[in-house]
Structure 1
Amino acid sequence: MKKLPLLILLIGLTIRSMNAQQALTREPQLISPEIHKDKSVTFRLNAPKASTVTITGGWMNSVGVTRPSAEMKRGEDGIWTYTTDVLSPEFYSYSYVVDGMKTVDPANAYVIRDVANVSNAFIIDGGYADLYKVTEVPHGTVSRRWYSSPGNNKVRRVTIYTPPGYENSKANFPVLYLLHGIGGDEEAWMGLGRASQILDNLIAQGKTKPMILVMTNGNVSQEAAPGEGSEGFTKPSFMLPQTMDGKFEETFGYILKFVEGNYRVKATKESRAIAGLSMGGYHTCYISQNYPNTFDYMGLFSPALNNKPEDHSESPAYQNLKEKLVIQKRNGYKLYWIAVGKSDFPILLSGIQDFRNQLDGIGMKYDFLETDGSHTWANWRKYLTEFSQKIFK
């Protein structure tokens, strides 16, 4: 009987603990972002001791590399709010600055990294953005694989998407090699690029062929994305050693060898495509010249052709480029596709025009698409969507 008071005490403590937890959960959760029916969006941040809070987001028009910000308004309850105008369909990122300190939205669990910048994300439905969502369609498989790259004295990581049903199929598939921009890595097209969602949805709609997607790391000084290699949790850097010096082009054959030795692929020119954004567009240009009878489809998305390979003329990849381009033309191809935003950096637009003049000078055919917008993921997601529907036909 002496145990009874102790049991009652324990039960009482448990009930009090449960009530305390329930009291915590009864506190209304802050909703941010709140997407309204008219597709305007309200953001909220609980920061009662802050003096100033601003928000910057992908719906704001950038001025060069600088994106503007807007002031949030403080309520009497210490909650800061900001409501946008009606937003167009898109995958958006945003972040806050609280008393000069950049931070993410603690009410939004969806966070993405762009080089060293961390932001929150949300989607406004409609148009292209419907392809960026996970929908009720068959899904492909995404894996991170390691391949030997003796030319870089490293074992390096690559991200590979295989289409729905690959594991249970005996079929061979075409391959798109998809390259990132400066500061990015093998995670960039998966996070900000929404590449697997785009392919899942387009394949389900019958708008693109089932394909294997190989997302490389174009920074030959790295084994893998920051935090994913033996270097540990290194700080992501926008500019890394050996950036656009020819080494990635020289050693690209090791990626081809790994993919074609480990996956069921159609190892033919007409079943290979290569594309990339910015620095990846630059790499696409010169990889396809150095492997002139390898790819039937090339996609240059906002290519950084203002960078001049002659600055690294010691690299075999950048020698005899005029002759290599003529050979590429002579060998033939099905699609050479260049796309850029009309508001992109003037120096980049000038570099693209110089390259177009070079192509025109030798009579090399290409498709050119100029869109609204600038050097942004909003454009590159659309370019991947369009390019992937043009290949392997």
Structure 2
Amino acid sequence: MKNYLILTLMIVVFLSVSTYAQQSLFGGEEIVSPEIHEDNSVTFRVNAPSAKEVKLSGEWMPAEGWSPGSAAMDKGENGIWSFTTKPLKPELYSYSFIIDGFKTTDPNNPFIVRDVASVMNIFIIGGKQADLYKVNDVPHGTVARRWYDSPSLDMARRLTIYTPPGYENSSEKYPVLYLLHGAGGDEEAWITLGRTAQIMDNLIAQGKANPMIVVMPNGNVIQNAAPGEGTDGFYKPQFMVPKTMDGTYEASFPDIMKFVESNYRVEADKSNRAIAGLSMGGFHSLHISRYYPDTFDYVGLFSAAILPNQDVTHEVYQNIDETLKRQMENDYALYWIGIGKTDFLYEAVKQYREKLDSMGMEYTYRESEGGHIWRNWRVYLSEFVPLLFK
């Protein structure tokens, strides 16, 4: 009798666990969200029968301060709230739901990205520029996370590196683009939010870009890796961490280059090196390229945070005009600046361009619609890369 009770209990436990596993496997809901229609309008749905108000917040909506706008969703008789947009232009979009004031992700869309500490769902409206962000039927490169030794920072650190299609089976040496993230980002930002691997695969397949290695380091010198990926464990990411713009990262940058040039088949000379970055990464790119003025032939400043805080005294930021002049005299192939018309850094970039103009330092300027957003930075990367290593 005792054995029978134990057997019965085991069966009950097994069935309960199996049922839970099946629910987890199949999601428990048969709701399609988002549903992209033929005219590129999109319907969003969420099951919230007890909610009093549900809103959809999407980055295509007019901004409310620093946040995307929102729109009220309609509640159906079955407790499912829905909202259908007007036709959207080709692009990669992010969105979230606000249920009775609580911001959350779409439980029916497993595709999410993290920007600093915010997690959002994504979807792509195909066509035009957005086709570069899709995984298409083309040869694919390899994305790896590597650890390198940084004697300057006295730690091992993590970076993300893209090698082009065919790298593993080739003996060829490749040029290198060092691609730097903005404040609040890390070595994950460009590969996830920026769609770097997809952009590179597609541009190379179309013959619009030369095959190259893309190195995406972590610019937060107090971290050895992105939150949750390093020895500090799981913690909430911050927008600005200490020492990000005090000269330490710029001074330590040769550690990254040494690792890449010692572990990958690269053309280790000025004409085969490029550096570019967004916002804080544009700040870093500006100062790394002028502090080491005979190192990079290609420089890209995407919505760059221009010039250091006046209270920062690190030697990296000394003699800016003189080192820019040295960079100009050493010659370079491309100095590329991009900024959105409504970017909060627009005036700072304008003043920096006036400085370059007064020095006679040549550059290529790209002004786009919109502000300080990934939508612009993906476009800038897509336009900058085809100009490299020609």
TM-score by length of 2: 0.93
1:301 is displaced (CA, Å) by 0.4
Match of 2:80 in 1: 79
Match of 1:354 in 2: 351
CA distance in structure 1 between the aligned counterparts of 2:236 and 2:221, rounded to whole angstroms: 16
Distance 1:27 1:62, change over 3 A: closer
CA distance in structure 2 between the aligned counterparts of 1:114 and 1:389, rounded to whole angstroms: 27
CA distance in structure 2 between the aligned counterparts of 1:53 and 1:378, rounded to whole angstroms: 26
Match of 2:332 in 1: 333
Segments of 5+ residues of structure 2 without an aligned counterpart are 1-10
Match of 2:92 in 1: 91
2:387 is paired with a residue whose SS is coil
CA distance in structure 1 between the aligned counterparts of 2:41 and 2:176, rounded to whole angstroms: 39
Distance 1:157 1:25, change over 3 A: closer
CA distance in structure 1 between the aligned counterparts of 2:87 and 2:122, rounded to whole angstroms: 17
Distance 1:117 1:25, change over 3 A: closer
CA distance in structure 1 between the aligned counterparts of 2:294 and 2:192, rounded to whole angstroms: 32
Match of 1:377 in 2: 374
1:332 is displaced (CA, Å) by 0.3
CA distance in structure 2 between the aligned counterparts of 1:298 and 1:27, rounded to whole angstroms: 50
1:63 is displaced (CA, Å) by 4.2
Q: Does 1:391 align with 2:388?
A: yes
1:49 is paired with a residue whose SS is coil
Check conservation: 1:246, 1:318, Cα contact below 8 A: yes
CA distance in structure 2 between the aligned counterparts of 1:208 and 1:27, rounded to whole angstroms: 44
RMSD of the alignment, in Å? Answer: 2.0
Match of 1:58 in 2: 59
1:29 is paired with a residue whose SS is coil
CA distance in structure 2 between the aligned counterparts of 1:309 and 1:41, rounded to whole angstroms: 44
Check conservation: 2:186, 2:220, Cα contact below 8 A: yes
Write out aligned runs for 1:205-354 (5 A): 205-305=206-306, 308-313=308-313, 315-345=314-344, 348-354=345-351
1:61 is displaced (CA, Å) by 2.5
Check conservation: 1:31, 1:44, Cα contact below 8 A: yes
Match of 1:4 in 2: none
CA distance in structure 1 between the aligned counterparts of 2:217 and 2:100, rounded to whole angstroms: 38
Check conservation: 2:60, 2:68, Cα contact below 8 A: no
Match of 1:3 in 2: none
CA distance in structure 1 between the aligned counterparts of 2:29 and 2:68, rounded to whole angstroms: 33
Match of 1:160 in 2: 161
1:152-178 Cα distance to aligned partner (Å, 9 max, x none): 121110100000000000000000000
CA distance in structure 2 between the aligned counterparts of 1:60 and 1:366, rounded to whole angstroms: 33
1:92 is displaced (CA, Å) by 0.5
Distance 1:309 1:325, change over 3 A: farther
Distance 1:364 1:54, change over 3 A: same
Which amino acid in the other structure matches residue 336 of structure 2? W
Q: How many residues align?
A: 374
CA distance in structure 1 between the aligned counterparts of 2:66 and 2:253, rounded to whole angstroms: 30
Which amino acid in the other structure matches residue 58 of structure 1? E
Which amino acid in the other structure matches residue 279 of structure 2? S
1:333 is paired with a residue whose SS is coil
Distance 1:25 1:252, change over 3 A: closer
1:131-156 Cα distance to aligned partner (Å, 9 max, x none): 00001111000000111112212111
Which amino acid in the other structure matches residue 310 of structure 1? Q
CA distance in structure 2 between the aligned counterparts of 1:319 and 1:33, rounded to whole angstroms: 51
Match of 1:123 in 2: 124
Write out aligned runs for 1:193-208 (5 A): 193-208=194-209
1:304 is displaced (CA, Å) by 1.0
Which amino acid in the other structure matches residue 70 of structure 1? A
Match of 1:180 in 2: 181
2:227 is paired with a residue whose SS is coil
TM-score by length of 1: 0.92
Check conservation: 2:59, 2:69, Cα contact below 8 A: no
CA distance in structure 1 between the aligned counterparts of 2:48 and 2:310, rounded to whole angstroms: 53
CA distance in structure 2 between the aligned counterparts of 1:43 and 1:149, rounded to whole angstroms: 46
CA distance in structure 1 between the aligned counterparts of 2:257 and 2:202, rounded to whole angstroms: 26
CA distance in structure 2 between the aligned counterparts of 1:108 and 1:27, rounded to whole angstroms: 13
CA distance in structure 2 between the aligned counterparts of 1:61 and 1:254, rounded to whole angstroms: 43
1:389 is paired with a residue whose SS is helix
CA distance in structure 1 between the aligned counterparts of 2:65 and 2:259, rounded to whole angstroms: 39
CA distance in structure 2 between the aligned counterparts of 1:25 and 1:317, rounded to whole angstroms: 55
CA distance in structure 1 between the aligned counterparts of 2:225 and 2:73, rounded to whole angstroms: 38
Check conservation: 1:180, 1:189, Cα contact below 8 A: yes
Distance 1:27 1:332, change over 3 A: closer
Check conservation: 2:245, 2:308, Cα contact below 8 A: no
Check conservation: 2:112, 2:120, Cα contact below 8 A: yes
1:26 is displaced (CA, Å) by 12
Which amino acid in the other structure matches residue 319 of structure 1? Q
1:328-372 Cα distance to aligned partner (Å, 9 max, x none): 000000100000111111xx1111111111111111000111011
Match of 1:366 in 2: 363
Match of 2:139 in 1: 138
| Percent identical | 58
